[in-house]
Amino acid sequence: MTDFLQLFFSGLATGSIYALAALGFTLLWQASGTINFAQGEFVMLPAFMMLGFMAAGFPLVLSFAASCVLSVFVLGWLFKRGVVDPLFKFGMMPIVVATIGLSIAMRNAVRAGYSAEPQPFPNLFPDEVYNLAGVTISATDIGTFVFAMILVLATQAFLAKTVTGRAMQAVAQNTESASVLGINVPRMIFYTFAINAVLAAAAAILVTPTYLAKFDMGSSLGNKAFFAAIIGGFNNSRGALLGGVIVGVCENLAAAYISPAYKDAVALIIFMVVILFKPQGLLGKKVERKV
Amino acid sequence: MKKLAFLAGLLGLLACIFVPTLLKNHGIYLFTYWLIYVIATMGLNLTIGYAGQKSLGHAAFFGIGAYTVAILMQAGYSFWLGMPIAALGCFVVGLVLGFPALRVQTIYLAFATLGFNTAVWLVMRNEEWLTGGTFGINNIARPEAFGISLDGNLAYYYLVLAFAVVLGLLLWGLLHSPWGKAFTALRDNPIRAESLGVDIRGYTLLSFAIGAAYAGIAGGLFGSLVQFIDPAPFTVEASIMMYLMVVVGGPGYFLGPLLGAAVGVILPEWLRFAQAWYLFVFGAAVVMLMIYLPDGLLSIPDRLRAKRQSREASAARAAAAQSGVQA
């Protein structure tokens, strides 16, 4: 039982990081119908931005803030203006391929321009472990989980409670009627991209200390985030949280109890089961087909 | 226009026959590699370009084909027995994979196929008794045909070319039969197609299965070309690359895979001058291509035609206005 709890708690921490990445993914999908295949690279890049700022002498927290600003510019504004806006009207296929190209370019620019070696990354949380009834939990796991939860719930609250957030949801649900109601649609879509960029930077600061900063750290994270988003429900941002936690916890349990070799298949199996019984995801709403 | 396309095809074929005789081994190898990807992406083009199904697991079939042929050859069977088994095996697996496609569409389907690819890859990597795990299978022989050894690079190239031409003609025939029309109807509007009596379930499954069989054949040829296979060329990334090739070439254009596979296989080789940066340049080039040509490279002639027509139309309008003023 203690083993189980142990695995469960460290799975929660990983899962909350998946949830952060998945949340950005569902936000972009809702607001602009964009499937961002570079989502994992959107986490990798801020990690290297922070390394860059720290190398320039900034402390960690300040580097994080600076990276957030830079992310909003590069991964938010530039990405929206340069890639999504021109391709929006051509449907899904060109955007998918453009973001695939973008992920290849980003990954290899970091490899060629910075380093192919994994880089160590300072931990935001103290290097301590706590013992609770036989279960050891590290401060990193607790901190990661709490920090990620605060971000996810804050994003939720922002979307549900503030005027801007509600306007953003209106745009996601029905772009035309939103613009009839006088909502500035392009600005709301930009906000979504900006939030996605900040969430990615936050995921970067949480995930990098354990997994090290590496040019290809994005690909597996991106995949997990996609599966998490679909398991939870693609058109529901609370689903991203649920999906992320489910994937993180199950993966940890399966690696211990079944086989570490097939750990990466866990997300996939849950995904297959969910999609067969509830194609719209656990919390998703059904979308009517259009003729 | 039809005649022009036919002429271009013929010239291309002649080039494919004669150019490699002038090349060194590496050049011939690249050409063969390219043709194998052409075969694989022809199948994928049927699935995504004509039938409109978002499939991101094509490299899994490529791998199943390669491993089937390699394992059978290791067991002492002939390449010529392995090939049809690989094609049939992929066809059946494609049918099975098609079933989730009946339930889920677009993005969900893309990820279902992507997940399928991950699963196949994990089996290839972990089931050492069958696939050799990460050590792979080596010493895969080149086949013989009619008593002629195809061991030489040029000889093997011509075998692959023969496969590509025959499979290309088969696909051409299929697309110009009523089946082909049904596929495009399915892509353009599934519900309308259904209401017109197209069996959308059957055709969805068939588009997956035929596409998979093409990938399986390409995989079998690939094993004999490189003579050593491990799970690396059959990852999700490889599937994504194939998807990219189809879209960059022009989905739903018959010759799209020729250009798309060239972009995916030969362009990175050309970009080697950029050294460590070559994959960055490649990725950036793909983004640019999509922004300027979202319908793929083969949409250029169509675009030029549309431009000429609109120019002629506006000239005609101007002339009409002119004569109206004079009258």
Residuewise pLDDT in 10s, chain B (327 residues): 567 777 877 888 888 887 777 778 888 888 899 999 999 999 999 988 888 888 888 999 999 999 999 999 888 888 888 899 999 999 999 998 888 777 776 677 887 888 888 889 888 888 878 887 778 888 787 877 777 777 778 888 888 998 999 999 999 899 888 888 888 887 877 777 777 777 778 888 888 899 999 999 999 999 888 888 888 889 888 888 898 889 888 888 888 888 888 888 888 888 777 777 878 888 888 888 888 888 888 888 888 888 888 888 888 888 888 776 665
Interface check for B106 against chain A (CB to CB < 8 A): the answer is: yes
CB contact under 8 A, A271 and B290: no
Return the beta strands (E) in chain A as ranges: 129-132, 135-138
Per residue in A109-141, pLDDT (tens digit) is 998 888 888 888 888 888 888 887 778 888 888
Per residue in A64-115, pLDDT (tens digit) is 999 999 999 999 899 988 888 888 788 778 888 899 889 989 998 998 888 8
CA distance A16 to A199: 12
Angle formed by the axes of helices B236-249 and A92-113, nearest 10° = 120
B 64-83 residues inside an 8 A Cβ radius of A: none
Which residues on chain A are in Cβ contact (under 8 Å) with B59? none
Which residues on chain A are in Cβ contact (under 8 Å) with B106? 92
In the numeric block, the tokens 């004999």 are attached to B224
CB contact under 8 A, B283 and A105: yes
> Among partner residues A98, A264, A272, which is closest to B290 by beta-carbon distance?
A98
Distance from CA of B92 to the nearest CA of A (A): 19
Read off the pLDDT band of A291 (50, 70, 90). Answer: very low
Interface check for B54 against chain A (CB to CB < 8 A): the answer is: yes
Distance from CA of B295 to the nearest CA of A (A): 7
Query: Mapping DSSP to helix (H, G, I), strand (E, B) and coil, where does residue A115 land?
Result: coil
Predicted confidence at residue B2, as pLDDT, reads: 66
Q: What is the complex's ipTM, to 2 decimals?
A: 0.78
Predicted confidence at residue B278, as pLDDT, reads: 78
Interface check for B96 against chain A (CB to CB < 8 A): the answer is: no
Interface check for B295 against chain A (CB to CB < 8 A): the answer is: yes
CB contact under 8 A, B282 and A97: no
The residues pairing with B145 across neighbouring beta strands, listed in sequence order, are B148
Q: How many CB pairs under 8 A join A and B?
A: 132
Predicted confidence at residue B325, as pLDDT, reads: 64
List, in order, residues 6 or more apart from A254 with CB less than 8 Å away: A262, A263, A266
> Among partner residues A90, A219, A262, which is closest to B126 by beta-carbon distance?
A262
CA distance B11 to B6: 9
* Residue A247, token pair as written in the block: 């994937």
CB contact under 8 A, B290 and A87: yes
Q: Is the pLDDT of residue A290 over 60?
A: no
Distance from CA of A180 to the nearest CA of B (A): 29
Predicted confidence at residue B89, as pLDDT, reads: 93
Interface check for B110 against chain A (CB to CB < 8 A): the answer is: yes
CB contact under 8 A, B108 and A268: no
Q: Name the closest residue on chain B to residue A279, using Cα atoms.
A: B104
Half-sphere exposure of B31 (CA within 13 A, CB side): 25
Are B236 and B121 in contact, with CB atoms under 8 Å apart?
A: yes
Instruction: Identify the CA nearest to A201 among candidates A147, A132, A272, A142.
Output: A147
Interface check for B244 against chain A (CB to CB < 8 A): the answer is: yes
> Among partner residues B48, B108, B290, which is closest to A94 by beta-carbon distance?
B290
The DSSP H or E segment spanning B150 is: none
Interface check for B140 against chain A (CB to CB < 8 A): the answer is: no
